[in-house]
Amino acid sequence: MSTGAAYCQLTHLLFRDAINLRKVRIFKFLASAWPVLVERLTKGKFQDNFEFLQWFFKFFNANYVDDGEEYDALAARGGEPLPAGAKGPAPTRVPPARTSTNTTLRASANTTQRPAAPPQAKKTSPAPPLSNRSSVPDSSALKALEEENAKLIQQYEEMTTIAETVENERNFYFEKLRRIEDMCNACAEGESPDKDAILAILYETNAEGGEDGVAQAAINDDDETF
């Protein structure tokens, strides 16, 4: 990564017109796209390159858009191979400490011959492209909304049925009163309306065989009802 060729390739993937990959030979060409601390990165030091890699990783995920076309990296470079990375600095050997015994001297020499292992970079999982990211609704929340919607629909249907029933009953009893009023208005002055006819109207029902028998029995057996 210290040569900058890989960064140039990824930059070309994001912005096709920003860099001509056929002219890429050194890291300094990447600076034509944006400011880069070339001198520090080309030295191949781990910390400098690791920090720049972390920044570029976030920058790439923020700008990458999957257009569905396969990107041919080799063709974009005109068939040119990526340059080899610069070798890191050789580990320095610490001279063994002088002791009064040969055993301690040999043990110290064997220990210092092993170069110190470079620090390992923390593994970071790559983030998916922005185009593939989508907010998936929680299934439990969606199920709760569906149940609430079903309850509201049921309540609406029940209230509609009750309203229709009340309206029908109102019309039914209003019609009874209207008929009795017409009967009273039809009587001549000084005459009384027919009691049995009024009782028959009052005890009428819409149900077949419902209260008709009870009404007729009340008319015949109890003349003091009215």
* Residues 64-117 pLDDT 10s: 777 777 777 777 766 666 666 555 554 455 555 454 445 554 555 555 555 566
- Report whether 48 contacts 56 (CB < 8 A): no
The position carrying tokens 């990375």 is: 85
The two three-digit tokens of residue 65, written as one number: 């858009």
- Report whether 77 contacts 22 (CB < 8 A): yes
Residue 216: pLDDT above 70?
no
pLDDT at res. 99: 47
Phi and psi based region of residue 4 (left: phi greater than 0; alpha: psi -120 to 50; beta: remaining): left
Strand blocks (E) in 7-118: none
What is the rounded CA–CA span in Å between residue 32 and residue 206? 92
The two three-digit tokens of residue 109, written as one number: 């020499």
- Report whether 86 contacts 3 (CB < 8 A): yes
- Quick check: pTM over 0.75? no
The two three-digit tokens of residue 190, written as one number: 């000084």
Domain residue ranges in the chain: 5-132, 139-221
